[in-house]
């Protein structure tokens, strides 16, 4: 059953592909590194000389402290859900940068504390414990900074993969808000005790500006904008319909929904104002093109939150944060596109299958024929646009198309000339990446956005 349904390929429209230059990525990376260089310049211009072991230790402590303070502001901006960053770089890339930056920040904070205590201990010729308590109890804002240090390290611990697997997404999400409190508590000691800021008004103003901008972005895009849109668009559940075993589509109605600016392939974070659901917002992709008064998501039962959506009642109020993600037509560079879906990963690809111009082929993998959600719609889209759709299932045995370079090239001989949009479970997407690379598809033409953040 490697090709249950297939029609001749055709072209939808003749709009030339939009080239996505690496400029947004390079610009974002350049700005981050330029800021780090500016922080190092702040230390360099404020340091007359470094003499002896104590000078080197305290100097290293100052540098790691400055970089840690700068990194905290960058981490906040990365997770502020700024549309310009999110749509151009992709939510999952920002999340990966945030996770990697978080590990570096924790390391810098630990190094800063140890180096400063060590250096001051040598300078004062006292014991390490005595010097540590003197710093915490005798210096301005150090009690708050110590509390922030504990919160930041604790948040880093629960964000580690081994610890995070033991808790629900909702619990981890709310514990992560402790990061904001940690940054707030630690901010004061940087200006009151930092040798690079004391008596240097321009440096103080610049540091204030950095943190004020980061805070303003968080407040605006994480709190103010979602509230404004909830009041303006008045989303409600219109209907819940089964699509496959454990899979439902939630239909929503609202006002002036085109103003949301949602594009095919994007997702929202949905907060359903219902018992057990109102306190968290989970990401689900649109599974149909957005309309002025109608949106739809299709969700597979994979936990308490997703399972509860099948029991939603019509009229339930909904808050939608977004749209988010860069998994859109803007990434396409060729007129030929392959959409490769696994399981409920069909949801964003179903919308792209309907809306992407050019020659589009869809491969949809599932465990059983009954698990092929939205199949009737996919067949209708394929017939309407003259596109090709291939279904591959694992059961009964022997009917699945292997996810290998050879098998993919047998279906699509000129695969290397295609852009590929990939969405599915982690194991499937990893195998697909290897197969696509083996088939000659360039890495920059394989587009994938993960919700594992």
Query: Which ranges in 322-404 belong to alpha helices (H)?
Result: 346-355, 375-385
Q: How far is the CA of 388 from the CAs of 5, 243, 411, in angstroms? A: 8, 22, 10
Distance CA 319, CA 272 (A): 6
Q: Provide the mean pLDDT of the chain.
A: 86
314-358 pLDDT, tens digit each: 999 999 998 998 889 888 888 999 999 998 899 999 999 999 988
Q: Distance between CA 50 and CA 64 in Å, rounded? A: 16
3-state SS class at 336: strand
Is the predicted pLDDT of residue 170 greater than 70, yes or no? no
Query: 235-244 and 247-253 as β-strands: parallel, antiparallel, unpaired?
Result: antiparallel
* Predicted pLDDT at 446: 92
Beta bridge partners of 426: none
How many other C-beta atoms are found inside a 10 Å radius of the C-beta of residue 422?
Answer: 22
3-state secondary structure of 453: coil
Q: Which residues pair with 239 in a beta bridge?
A: 251
Note the pLDDT of residue 347.
93
| Count of residues making up the chain | 453
pLDDT for 398 beyond 70: no
Smallest Cα–Cα separation from 296: which of 326, 264, 325, 334? 264
Please tell me the predicted confidence (pLDDT) of residue 2. Answer: 39
Contact yes or no for 360/339 (Cβ under 8 A): yes
Q: What per-residue string of b and e applies to 93-120 under the rule 16 or more CB within 10 Å gives b? A: bbbebbeebbeebbebbbbbbbbbbbbb
Distance CA 69, CA 57 (A): 18
Q: What is the pTM of this model?
A: 0.78
pLDDT tops 50 at residue 3: no
């Amino acid at each position: 059953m490697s090709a249950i349904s297939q029609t001749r390929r055709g072209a939808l429209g003749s709009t030339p592909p939009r080239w996505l230059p690496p400029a947004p990525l390079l610009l974002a990376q350049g700005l981050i590194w330029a800021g780090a260089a500016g922080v190092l310049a702040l230390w360099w211009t404020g340091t007359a000389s470094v003499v002896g072991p104590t000078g080197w230790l305290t100097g290293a402590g100052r540098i790691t402290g400055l970089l840690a303070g700068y990194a905290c502001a960058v981490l906040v901006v990365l997770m502020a859900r700024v549309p310009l960053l999110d749509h151009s770089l992709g939510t999952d890339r920002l999340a990966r940068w945030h996770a990697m930056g978080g590990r570096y920040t924790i390391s810098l904070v630990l190094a800063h504390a140890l180096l400063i205590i060590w250096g001051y201990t040598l300078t004062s010729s006292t014991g390490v414990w005595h010097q540590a308590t003197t710093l915490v109890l005798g210096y301005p804002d150090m009690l708050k900074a110590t509390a922030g240090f504990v919160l930041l390290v604790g948040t880093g611990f629960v964000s580690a993969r081994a610890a995070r697997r033991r808790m629900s997404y909702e619990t981890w999400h709310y514990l992560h808000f402790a990061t904001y409190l940690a940054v707030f508590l630690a901010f004061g000691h940087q200006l009151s005790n930092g040798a690079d800021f004391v008596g240097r008004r321009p440096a103080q103003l610049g540091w204030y500006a950095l943190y004020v901008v980061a805070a303003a972005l968080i407040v605006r895009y994480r709190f103010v904008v979602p509230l404004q849109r909830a009041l303006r668009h008045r989303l409600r559940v219109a209907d819940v319909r089964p699509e496959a075993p454990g899979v439902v589509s939630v239909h929503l109605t609202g006002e002036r929904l085109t103003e949301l600016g949602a594009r095919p392939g994007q997702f929202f974070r949905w907060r359903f104002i219902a018992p057990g659901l109102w306190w968290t917002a989970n990401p689900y992709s649109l599974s149909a093109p957005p309309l002025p008064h109608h949106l739809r998501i299709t969700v597979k039962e994979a936990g308490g939150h997703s399972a509860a959506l099948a029991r939603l009642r019509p009229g339930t109020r909904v808050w939608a944060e977004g749209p988010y993600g860069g998994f859109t037509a803007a990434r396409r560079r060729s007129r030929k596109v392959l959409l490769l879906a696994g399981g409920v990963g069909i949801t964003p690809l179903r919308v792209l299958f309907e809306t992407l111009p050019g020659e589009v082929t869809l491969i949809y993998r599932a465990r059983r024929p009954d698990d092929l959600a939205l199949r009737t719609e996919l067949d209708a889209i394929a017939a309407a646009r003259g596109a090709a759709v291939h279904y591959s299932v694992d059961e009964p045995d022997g009917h699945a198309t292997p996810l290998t370079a050879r098998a993919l090239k047998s279906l699509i001989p000129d695969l290397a000339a295609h852009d590929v949009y990939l969405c599915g479970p982690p194991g499937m997407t990893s195998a697909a990446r290897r197969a696509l690379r083996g088939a000659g598809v360039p890495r920059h033409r394989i587009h994938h956005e993960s919700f594992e953040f």
